[in-house]
Structure 1
Amino acid sequence: MPARFRAEQVGSLLRPAELLQARAAHGESKISLEELRAKEDHAIRQALEKQRRVGIDILSDGEMRRGSWATGMAEAVEGFVAQRVELEWKGPGGGREGSTLLAAGAKLKKTCKLTAHELPFLKKHAPGAFKVTVPAPSNFVLASYKAGVTDRFYPTHGDFLCDLADIIRDEIQWLVSEGVTYIQLDAPYYSHYLDPTQRERMRQTGRNPDAEFENGIEGDNSCFRGIPRTNLILALHVCRGNNRSRWYTEGGYDVIAEKLFGRSDVDTFLLEYDTQRAGGFEPLRLVPRGKSVVLGLITTKEPNLESQDELRRRIDEAARFIPIENLALSPQCGFASVAAGNLLSEDDQWRKLELVVETARRVWD
Structure 2
Amino acid sequence: MSTRSIPPFRADHVGSLLRPRFLLDARDQHARGAIDAAALRKVEDRAITEAVKFQEDIGLKSITDGEFRRTYFHLDFLRHLGGVATDDPKLVVGEDGKEHLLPPGIRVVDKVRHVRDIQRADFEYLSSQVSAGHTPKVSIPSPTMLHFRGGRAGINAQAYPELEPDFYEDVAKAYGQELHSLYEAGCRYVQMDDTNLAYLCDQHMREAARTRGDDPNELPHRYAKFINRVVAYKPKDMVLSMHLCRGNFKSTYAAEGNYEPVAEALLSEMHLDAYFMEYDDDRSGDFRPLRFLPANKIVVLGLVTTKFSPLESKDDLKRRIDEASKYAPLEQLALSPQCGFSSTVHGNKISVDDERAKLRLVVEVARDVWGDA
Q: TM-score, normalised by structure 1?
A: 0.91
Residue 347 of structure 1 is matched in structure 2 by: 353
Write the distance in 2 (CA, Å) between the matches of 1:44 and 1:101: 29
Residue 260 of structure 2 corresponds to residue 245 of structure 1 = no
Q: 2:270 aligns with which of 240, 254, 264?
A: 264
CA contact (8 A) 1:2 1:292 kept: no
- 1:187 positional shift: 1.1
Write the distance in 1 (CA, Å) between the matches of 2:261 and 2:15: 27
Residues 72 and 203 of structure 1: CA distance in aligned 2, closer, same or farther (over 3 Å): closer
- Secondary structure (helix, strand or coil) at the match of 2:173 reads helix
- Secondary structure (helix, strand or coil) at the match of 2:108 reads strand
Q: TM-score, normalised by structure 2?
A: 0.90
CA contact (8 A) 1:299 1:333 kept: yes
Larger deviation: 298-307 or 187-196? Answer: 187-196
Larger deviation: 296-305 or 63-72? Answer: 63-72
Write the distance in 2 (CA, Å) between the matches of 1:266 and 1:173: 16
**Number of residue pairs matched by the alignment:** 363
Q: 2:344 corresponds to which letter in structure 1?
A: V
**Structure 2 unaligned regions, length at least 5:** none
- 1:191 positional shift: 1.4
Q: 2:38 aligns with which of 28, 34, 38?
A: 34
- Secondary structure (helix, strand or coil) at the match of 1:328 reads strand
Q: 1:364 corresponds to which letter in structure 2?
A: W
Write the distance in 2 (CA, Å) between the matches of 1:255 and 1:134: 24
Write the distance in 2 (CA, Å) between the matches of 1:82 and 1:221: 25
Residue 171 of structure 1 is matched in structure 2 by: 178
Residue 241 of structure 2 corresponds to residue 214 of structure 1 = no
Residue 311 of structure 2 is matched in structure 1 by: 305
Identity %: 36
Q: 2:189 corresponds to which letter in structure 1?
A: Y
Deviations 1:242-275 (A, max 9, x none): 1221211110111111111011111111100001
- 1:148 positional shift: 7.0
Residues 55 and 257 of structure 1: CA distance in aligned 2, closer, same or farther (over 3 Å): same
Residue 135 of structure 2 corresponds to residue 129 of structure 1 = yes
Write the distance in 2 (CA, Å) between the matches of 1:238 and 1:155: 30
Residues 325 and 136 of structure 1: CA distance in aligned 2, closer, same or farther (over 3 Å): same
1:168-247 equivalent positions in 2, closer than 5 A = 168-230=175-237, 232-247=238-253
Residue 296 of structure 2 is matched in structure 1 by: 290
Q: 2:357 corresponds to which letter in structure 1?
A: R
**Structure 1 unaligned regions, length at least 5:** none
Residue 64 of structure 2 corresponds to residue 60 of structure 1 = yes
Write the distance in 1 (CA, Å) between the matches of 2:240 and 2:210: 32
Write the distance in 1 (CA, Å) between the matches of 2:221 and 2:251: 29
Q: 2:108 corresponds to which letter in structure 1?
A: A
Residue 278 of structure 1 is matched in structure 2 by: 284
Deviations 1:42-74 (A, max 9, x none): 110000001111001211111111112123324
CA contact (8 A) 1:302 1:343 kept: yes
CA contact (8 A) 2:108 2:154 kept: no
- Secondary structure (helix, strand or coil) at the match of 2:144 reads helix
- Secondary structure (helix, strand or coil) at the match of 1:210 reads coil
CA contact (8 A) 2:147 2:155 kept: no
1:157-168 equivalent positions in 2, closer than 5 A = 157-158=163-164, 159-168=166-175
CA contact (8 A) 1:72 1:114 kept: no
Q: 1:325 aligns with which of 331, 355, 365?
A: 331
- 1:287 positional shift: 0.2
**RMSD (Å), alpha carbons:** 2.5
1:106-117 equivalent positions in 2, closer than 5 A = 106-117=110-121
CA contact (8 A) 2:113 2:171 kept: no
CA contact (8 A) 2:173 2:233 kept: no
CA contact (8 A) 1:84 1:98 kept: no
